[in-house]
Amino acid sequence: MYFREEFSKAKQILLAARRIVIISHRSPDGDTVGANLALRYCLEQQWGKAVISACIDPPPPDTHFLPDVDAFVSDFDYESADVLVSVDVGAHYLLKFHEKKPEILQKIKPFINIDHHPSNDHFGTINIVDPHASAAVQIVYHFLRYCNFHINYRVATALLHGLYFDTGSFMHSNTTPEVLKIAADLIWKGADYRQIAKAQFRTKRIGQMRLFGRIFSRASVNEKKVLRSFVLDRDFEECDASRDDTVGAIDYLNSIPDGKFSVFLSEDGKGNVKGSLRTRENDIDLCKIASLFGGGGHKKASGFSVPGKIELADDKIRIQ
């Protein structure tokens, strides 16, 4: 059975705990938020646990319709927690909490690491990591069923939101028969598919449209057939846009057939440049490319963050 031994250990630890902290990765997306909330709903409502959802950064706007998403906190008391759980955290450095709380990685307390990234460095005391899964919510779905939790419409909506996000509305190559089977089950259980689609792909502010215009106008393909574009710190203010408004831009860039893979660079306002990588090709491993810059992810979708600013010189985009 799927992760039988790990699921059994995780279940027993969570049953014995009173206070649980569920951690989402920095710069959270629909998958990490959906997985966090789905697990939280079940632990709180059906097992009576005291649960904290934690993330160093606030949840993105496309998740704001999910119940209790505003309960996420940006800090927590490690000493009061019995168990830590991370969801969709592809490597320990994406936790960010360990920088001020190094003890969370010292394996003093149980730490359940649930993830689907090949780059995961197994930082938990229990590591439920399936690089073949399309999303973290896919693993959480199986774990909830293993624990015999009732998946109501709130849980189903949170899970489907994550699944819909990480498969690019079921258009990416990671949309497997199992993904569609799970999605169908979640819709039968009451998941609000229309609201999910509207929040993720059918709602755009004017500021975001202006920002996308700049990103698309800067798109170009170099001699190595790499499609590039970028956004600068000043663009956000000039377009009246937020950092979250870049979500989805890389997927539009990746739809252009001229490039072998796409690179989107964005200044984060804190002296760093974030890179997003996407490809449709089967013979390109973007996870290996991202790892050269200290990042990671999946073969066809990866990312990184490095200190610096974007500079243009001789039709080249450089990070200085």
CATH number at residue 230: 3.10.310.30
CATH number at residue 178: 3.90.1640.10
Query: Token digits for 293?
Result: 């810059």
82 and 135 belong to one structural domain: yes
How remote is the C-alpha of 132 from its chain's centroid?
16
> In the listed set 200, 216, 242, which residue is the last one of a domain according to the structure?
200
Question: What is the side-by-side strand order in the sheet with 19-24?
Answer: 50-54, 19-24, 83-87, 111-115, 126-129
Burial 87-103 (b: 16+ CB within 10 A, else e): bbbbbbbbbbbbeebee
182 and 217 belong to one structural domain: no
For residues 94 and 146, give the distance between their C-alpha atoms in angstroms, rounded to a whole number. 28
> In the listed set 170, 200, 230, which residue is the last one of a domain according to the structure?
200
Q: What is the pLDDT of residue 153?
A: 97
Tell whether the torsion through CA atoms of 299, 302, 308 and 313 is positive or negative.
positive
116 and 249 belong to one structural domain: no
Query: Could you tell me if 192 and 157 are in contact, meaning their C-beta atoms sit under 8 angstroms apart?
Result: yes
> In the listed set 184, 200, 216, which residue is the last one of a domain according to the structure?
200
For residue 169, give the DSSP letter. T
227 and 166 belong to one structural domain: no
Query: Could you tell me if 295 and 304 are in contact, meaning their C-beta atoms sit under 8 angstroms apart?
Result: yes
From the number of C-beta atoms within 10 Å of its C-beta (0-12, 13-18, 19+), residue 48 rates as exposed
75 and 96 belong to one structural domain: yes
Q: What is the pLDDT of residue 1?
A: 61
| CA angle, residues 303, 143, 128, in degrees to nearest 5 | 45
Question: Tens place of pLDDT for every residue, the chain, 320 residues?
Answer: 689 999 999 999 999 999 999 999 999 999 999 999 999 999 999 999 999 999 999 999 899 999 999 999 999 999 999 999 999 999 999 999 999 999 999 999 999 999 999 989 999 999 999 999 999 999 999 999 999 999 999 999 999 999 999 998 898 889 999 999 999 999 999 999 999 998 887 677 888 899 999 999 999 998 889 999 999 999 999 999 888 888 888 888 888 888 889 999 999 888 999 999 988 888 899 989 998 998 888 888 888 999 999 988 777 788 87
Q: What is the pLDDT of residue 202?
A: 67
166 and 147 belong to one structural domain: yes
Terminal CA-CA length for the chain: 49
142 and 21 belong to one structural domain: yes
159 and 216 belong to one structural domain: no
22 and 83 belong to one structural domain: yes
Helices 153-166/193-201 angle, 10° precision:
40
Q: What is the pLDDT of residue 2?
A: 83
196 and 210 belong to one structural domain: no
Among the listed residues 27, 9, 172, the one whose alpha carbon sits nearest the alpha carbon of residue 89: 27
Query: What does pTM read for this prediction?
Result: 0.85
Number of alpha carbons in the 13 Å side-chain half-sphere of residue 185: 15
For residues 36 and 188, give the distance between their C-alpha atoms in angstroms, rounded to a whole number. 21
Domain around 101: 4-200
68 and 178 belong to one structural domain: yes
For residue 260, give the DSSP letter. S
Q: What is the pLDDT of residue 21?
A: 98
Query: Could you tell me if 87 and 23 are in contact, meaning their C-beta atoms sit under 8 angstroms apart?
Result: yes
Rounded to the nearest 10°, the torsion over CA 290, 293, 87, 168 is: -30
161 and 233 belong to one structural domain: no
Q: Please tell me whether residue 292 adopts helix, strand or coil conformation.
A: coil
For residue 120, give the DSSP letter. -
Query: Token digits for 221?
Result: 């393909």
- Count of domains for the chain: 2
Q: Please tell me whether residue 273 adopts helix, strand or coil conformation.
A: strand
